[in-house]
A and B are shown apart, each in its own frame.
Chain A
Amino acid sequence: MNKTMGVTVMAENAVQRQTILSLRETIARIENGCPPAAMPTTLAPDPAGFRREGASHRKALPLGIPPLDGALKGGLPLEGLTEIRNAETRDAGAAAGFVTALAVLYQQERKSKGHLGPVLWISQALAAREAGHPYAPGLKSFGLDAERFLFVSARTVKDALWITETALSVPVFAAIVLEIRGNPASLALSESRRLHVKARAGKVPLLLFRQAGEEEASSAFFRFRIRPAPAGERPLPDGSVLCGSIGHPAFHLLVEKSRAYASHDIFLEWNAHDRRFYPIDERRNAALQTNDQPENPVDPLSASAGRSRGAQPLGRLLAFARAS
C-alpha cells in the first residue's frame, strides 16, 4: 500500500517536473534565449561546430570582453532589434558614438563574409536638429566605411518606420540604425515587436537609437543605456600617457534589459584604429573622477529632499538605546 502510494507520488512529481521543464523551454523559446540549465553551453560552443541541443538559436557577434559577452549571452545579436538609449539630449554624442561603433562592428563582420556592408541610418528630422547631424569626416575617423553609409532624414516617426520596414526586407544592409527622439506613441511595444520580427526574418541587425528617451517596454533583445564617461589620455610611444589630453572615446554602458539575472554596467573605450572595444579599468576611472572633483562640490538632491515625508538620512536616529 505504502509502496504504491510512494510510486504514484513519485510519478506525479515526475509529471509535474516534466510540465515545468516544458513550460520553461517554451518560455525560453519565446524569449529567444536558452533555457537556464543550458546556459554554460552557450559560452563554450561545441568545437566541432555543431549546434548543441538547447543551445542558443541566436547568431551573435562577440565583443571580445568576457564579462559583457557573458551578460549578452555570447555577444550582440546579428539579427533582430537592439535598443540603445540615452537619458538626456546632451548625452546624445556619447550614445551616437556607441551606436556608430556597433555599426562599424557589424560592417566589419559583414565584410569578413565577403559582402559589402552599407549601413543605413534613418533619422527623425527632429532628432538631427536637436542633437546635430551625423558628420561624415567624424564617422570616417570613427572607423566607419563612410562611402557605404546611407543617411535618410524622415520628417515623422511614421515615415521613419516605413523606411525601416522597407529596408528590413532588403538583404543588403550590414546594419540599420533607426534614430528616434523621445518615446513617441507611434513606436510602442507592438511596433517594436513588428520591427523585431521583421529584422529577424530579414536577418538584419536593427539598432533602435532612442535619443533622450525613457525606459519603455519593447521587444528588443537588449536595451543599453549609454552615459558619457571621461576618456583616457593619449598613449605615448614610450608607454606613458600624455597628461591632460583627451584620448579614445569612452562610454559608460548599462545593460538595462537582457536575459541575464542582474543588470550589468561597464566602462568601455572605443579604439577606432583596432575597431574594437576595450574595457576601462574602473579604478583608474574612479581615480580620474576623484581628480576632477569640482572646487565646490554640491550634493545632488533627490526629488523628495526637503519635504517633511522624505526619507530620513541613515544614522540620524538610533534604533536602540545605548547599553551603557
Chain B
Amino acid sequence: MARSRWGASWLSRGRPDHPPVVFVAKIDNAMRLVALDALAERIGLKRGQGAAEARAMCPSLDVIAADPPADQAFLEALADWCDRYTPLVALDGKDGLFLDITGCAHLHGGEKGLVSDMLSRLFALGVEARATVSSSAGLSWAAVRYGHVDVIAPEEADRVLAPLPVAALRLPEETAAALERVGLKEIGDLLEAPRAPIARRFGSLLLLRLDQARGQADEPLSPRLPVPSFSAERRLAEPLIDEEHVLELTRHLAKDVRSSLERQGEGGRLFELLLFRVDGRVFRVKAHAAVALNDAERIAALFRERLQAIHDDLDAGYGFEILRLAVLRSERRDPAQKDFSGVPDESQPLAAFVDKVSARFGPDCLMQAAFAESHLPERAGGFVPLRNIAAVMDAPAQGKVFPEGGAFPESGVFPESGVFPESGVFPENRPLRIFAHPEPVEATAEVPEGAPRSFNWRKTRYRVTRAEGPERIAAEWWVVGEDHPTRDYFRVEDQEGRRFWLFREGLYEREVTSARWYMHGVFA
C-alpha cells in the first residue's frame, strides 16, 4: 500500500507526513483492525481492536479496507522475486516466505551476505522485511518474528530459542494461551520440562513444533513451484532491454543447459525462461517443444516465437538483470546419427514447424484426426490437439502397423502406441463437413417416417430431388441416458446438385409426437 501511494523508495527517503494507516476487515460482525503501520502502533493501537474505538483514539486515522487477494498476489510476486536466490521458495501463511538456501548461499557471499543483500534489495523496493537464516524452518520462523538475529548457527539453537515466547512455536492460539495460564511463558521453560506430561496435557503438536524448531525433527517445505531438473542462469552487470539481446542470451543459456541434458541423455519438452526485471517484477515465459530438444538454436527459436506472441505483455521497463532458463519437463532422447542414404529425416522439420506454431498460438492449436468406436457421428471422429508427431510421420504406408510376420495381432490392439488402428465405424456415407451444432431446419415429408420433400435452411427453400435413407442411429444409452431420441439420417440432393445430411430427431408415436429436423453436415 505504502509503495503504491508514496512510490517504491518511500522507505529510504523517509516516510512522508501522513496520519497513521490501519487496515480493517469484518471479524465476528465487527469492523476490526487487521493490520497497522508503525506509526499507528506507536500511538497505542492494537490488532483486533474495533475500528470505531481506534477512530476515537486518533481522529485523523486513515482507515482502509483490507484486501486479502491483493496481499496474496503481492506475496506471490515477492516469492517470484526470491527465486533469484533459490528455486525452493515456499509460501508461509499470509505474511511469510521460506527459502531453502541449502547449497545456494555461497553464490551470494555466504549466509550473512545473502541476508544483507536480500534485505537491502527489498528495502530499496520499499518492502519492510526481516530475515533469519538457521538450520530449521521452525527456528527461522520463531527468530524472524520474535528475535533479532540474522544468522543462527546450529549449536546456538537452544540459546536463541529459550527467551522467545511460546507463541513463536507456531502453535494454535488456545494452546499458547493454555501454556501461558500455567506459567510456561517462554520456550526455555518448555525445554527443561519433562516431555511426557506436556504431551499428555497439550497434545503432541507442541512437542513436534518444539523438536522442529530445535532441528531434531524434519520438516519438509513444499516449494511453491516444481523445481526444474535442469537450469542455467546468467546475472548481468548491465540490465538488458533489447529483445534481441534477451534472445541471444537465451541461446547461450540453452548451450549451458544442453551439456547437462546431454549428460543425462535427455531432451527438454517444456522450457521456462525467467526474466527478473530490475524493479523486482519477474516474468515467466513457458515454451513447449514438440519433441525432446537439446539443440540450443532450436530452443532459442522457440522463445523467439513465444516472445513475439506475448510482445505487448512483456514490458522490459528498465531492463532485466537476471535471466534463467529452466527445463521443467524432460524426457529420454535417443541420440540419432544422420545416415548416409541422403534422405532427409522428415520429422525434424515438421517438429520445428509444430514448435513454431504452438509457441505462437498455444499448444492446442494444431490438431490431428482422431477416431472413436461410436455410431454417433459427432463422437465417431473429430480433431484432437497434436501430441504425438511420430504418429503423423511413421506411417502404415511404411508397413509399420503390422508387426513382423504380417499377422494381425490377436488382441486387436496394435503394439505401437499413438498409431491409430483402423478402429471406429466407417460407413461410406459420411459428410465432408459437419456443423458443430446441428442447425434446425423446417422440413416437409410426404409420409411422416419418409425422406423430406423440401426444407428451409438458413432462410432458403431447397427442393429435394433424390434422397437416400433413413440410416437410423440410436443414442448411446450408456453415455447419454435412455430417454435420448433416436435419429433418422437422410442423405439428400437438391435441384442444383448440393448434397446435404439431414436428420429427424425422434421416432413418431414412440418417442415424440412432432419430430424436429436438423441439418448436420454437407457432402461434396
Partner-B contacts on A (CB < 8 A): 90-94, 96-98, 100-101, 111, 115-116, 118, 129, 131-142, 145-154, 159, 162-163, 166-167, 170-172, 227-231, 244-246, 249-252, 270, 292, 294
Contacts and interface: CB of A to CB of B under 8 A. Distances in A.
Given A141-B428, A172-B353, A136 B369 contact: yes
A249 B428 CA distance: 12
Which A-B residue pairs are the 7 nearest by beta carbons? A97-B524, A93-B522, A132-B433, A136-B381, A136-B369, A228-B497, A249-B524
- Interface of chain A: mostly helix, strand, loop or mixed: mixed
Given A98-B524, A100-B432, A133-B433, A246 B493 contact: yes
B116 interface: no
Nearest to A131: B433
B365 A116 contact: no
B402 interface: no
Contacts of B392: 116, 118, 147-148, 150
A150 B368 contact: yes
B380 interface: yes
A170 B350 contact: yes
Given A116-B393, A141-B428, A150-B386, A135 B349 contact: no
B523 interface: yes
Interface of B: 344, 346, 349-350, 352-353, 356-357, 360-361, 365-371, 377, 380-383, 386, 391-393, 395-398, 419-420, 424, 426-436, 457-458, 460, 463, 465-466, 468, 491, 493, 495-500, 521-524
A91 B523 CA distance: 10
24 contacts: A92-B522, A93-B431, A93-B500, A94-B524, A96-B522, A97-B523, A116-B392, A132-B522, A138-B430, A138-B433, A140-B381, A147-B392, A147-B396, A149-B369, A151-B368, A151-B383, A152-B365, A153-B367, A154-B361, A172-B349, A228-B496, A230-B493, A231-B493, A231-B499
Main secondary structure of the interface of B (DSSP, over half): mixed
Contacts of B419: 147
Contacts of A166: 353, 356-357
B523 A244 contact: no
A135 B371 CA distance: 10
Contacts of A163: 357, 361
A115 B395 CA distance: 10
Nearest to B358: A152
Contacts of B346: 115-116, 172
Contacts of A93: 431-433, 498-500, 522-524
Contacts of B350: 118, 170, 172
Contacts of B377: 135, 137
Q: Which has the most chain B C-beta neighbours within 10 Å: A90, A166, A294?
A: A90
Contacts of B357: 152, 163, 166
B377 to A, nearest CB: 8
A228 B395 contact: no
A132 B521 contact: yes
A270 B432 CA distance: 13
Contact of B431 (A138, A147, A245, A251): A138
- Give the interface centre of B366, B395, B435, B496 by most chain A CB atoms within 10 Å: B496
B434 A135 contact: yes
Contacts of A91: 498
A138 B521 CA distance: 10
Given A154-B361, A162-B360, A172-B350, A136 B523 contact: no
A120 to B, nearest CB: 9
Given A116-B393, A116-B397, A166-B353, A94 B498 contact: yes
A229 B495 CA distance: 9
B369 A139 contact: yes
A198 to B, nearest CB: 14
B433 A96 contact: yes
A231 B493 CA distance: 8
Contacts of B493: 230-231, 246
